[in-house]
Amino acid sequence: MSSPTNLHGREFARQATRPGPAARATNVRFAVLWVTTLTSFIMYLDRICVAEVVKQDSFQHELALDSKQVGWILGSFFFAYALSQVPAGWLSDRFGARTMMTAYVAAWSLLTGLTGLAGGFWGLLLARLGCGIAQAGAYPTSGGLLSRWIPFPWRGMANSIVAFGGRIGLAGASWMTVMAVKTLGGWREALWLYQAIGIGIALWFWWVFRERPENHPRSNAAECELIERSLPPTVRAGRVAATGIPLRAIVASPSLWCMSLVMFCTNVGWAFLATWLPTYFKNVMGLSPEDAAQRSFLALLGGMAGLLVGGWVTDLATRRWGLRWGRSGPLVICRLVGVAAYLSCLKFDSPAAVTVSFFIVAFSTDMGIGGTWAYAQDVGGRHVGSILGWANMWGNLGAALVAVVLPWVVDMEHATDWDEAFLLCAAAFLLASLAALGINATLPIVRRDELPREVQPA
């Protein structure tokens, strides 16, 4: 018979998939997954819509901001978002996902509406800073609540589905905002509409969600047992609210530092697609703005496909290889695929060929998201929000860095190729693949006194 600690590996994954109780389980967990996915959608919609709003004639006529002021307004969001990850994640661990997710969604929705009331630069800047702080808690909170509601064997897929909601919001934000401005008659009215939608989703989340399955009035004993029986011991132990951030355990974990480096380097490569790809198609490939936008959109579709495939792959790999390599192995492989795709851009000179390469980059990048979230859920115990927030903070700092560094690396306006940018992104992905080798999801990142007896070191 396997020892309890071995349940973190292949044997645990095998036992977690055995048939459940005889009674038919209710499906409240799917409603929780659905409403959490909606929060991800509205988060990205509210995040990206301002970038489209500032292009509107009505906005430029009313406020007449210069490009540097617009840059500060857009950049302030990401600065606040990155630095607020850990505290926002801890608040969810401490006060519960139901309270904090509802508060986060309502807060950024209200701030989106207040953006529509701003009369100048400082009002817009403060509103976007506040929005970044509020949105920082969304993904850490999602990771924590899914760790308690989704059976372990489907953890990666559930994470990918929630992130997929965000990608839909990202892809549709520009079109939806343009249509809202056109239909409602102005940019302010469009933001007020998004405020109303967001507050509605916040209230819906509060109504649907409870902290744990056993607290939910519509979740029966069979569903509670199905979920509980599948969870690793560290998650079962995380029933009490966190009293603080386990900073010493976080800093002392080589595995988490490796994951943080993976996310930092991955976002260096990903941010090129999200920020500079249309410029590359226009300046180097000579495409019209419309064609550049279309090809950029086609490339980013690879990310949506990668999300769903990646969630399934990390769950399958965990069942086959155990928790250690089931989380680490797919990250190593997909980052190496990204390296090859970026290097192929050095050889291709046709828009169609490089679009395919960028599609593969996006696919391989987002393929790792399900496993990345699952890692934090595997090791975090009652501190999933804090730990996912820590890793996500480093990822967002990587994205912010490349947005500043790339113009220095490449002469964006006059270069006939952007080979230096592709080499930088390929190097970042290579470093991410090497760092992924050090990830070990069998090592809990919690204080020793919080470990259940069966997984405490001798």
| 8-state DSSP, 349 | -
Helix, strand or coil, per DSSP, at residue 117: coil
Burial class (CB in 10 A: 0-12, 13-18, 19+), 248: exposed
Domains along the sequence of the chain with CATH: 5-15+27-449 (1.20.1250.20)
Give the residue among 336, 333, 340, 367 at the shortest CA–CA distance from 356. 340
Residue 227 tokens read as 């979920």
**How far lies 191's CA from each of 39, 66, 168, 178, 186, in Å?**
17, 21, 18, 11, 9
Q: Is 64 left (phi over 0), alpha (psi -120 to 50) or beta?
A: left
pTM, whole model, 2 decimals? 0.79
What does the chain come to in residues?
A: 458
Give the residue among 280, 141, 118, 277 at the shortest CA–CA distance from 202. 141
In single-letter form, the type of residue at position 341 comes to: A
- Where residue 56 falls among pLDDT bands split at 50, 70, 90? confident
Instruction: Please provide the average confidence, as pLDDT, over all residues in the chain.
Output: 84
| pLDDT for res 232 | 67
Give the residue among 127, 133, 168, 199 at the shortest CA–CA distance from 44. 168
Those residues whose C-beta lies under 8 Å from the C-beta of residue 426, and which sit 6 or more positions away, are 269, 338, 339, 342, 343
Per-residue model confidence as pLDDT tens digits over 196-255? 999 999 999 999 999 989 999 999 999 999 988 887 665 554 555 556 778 888 999 999
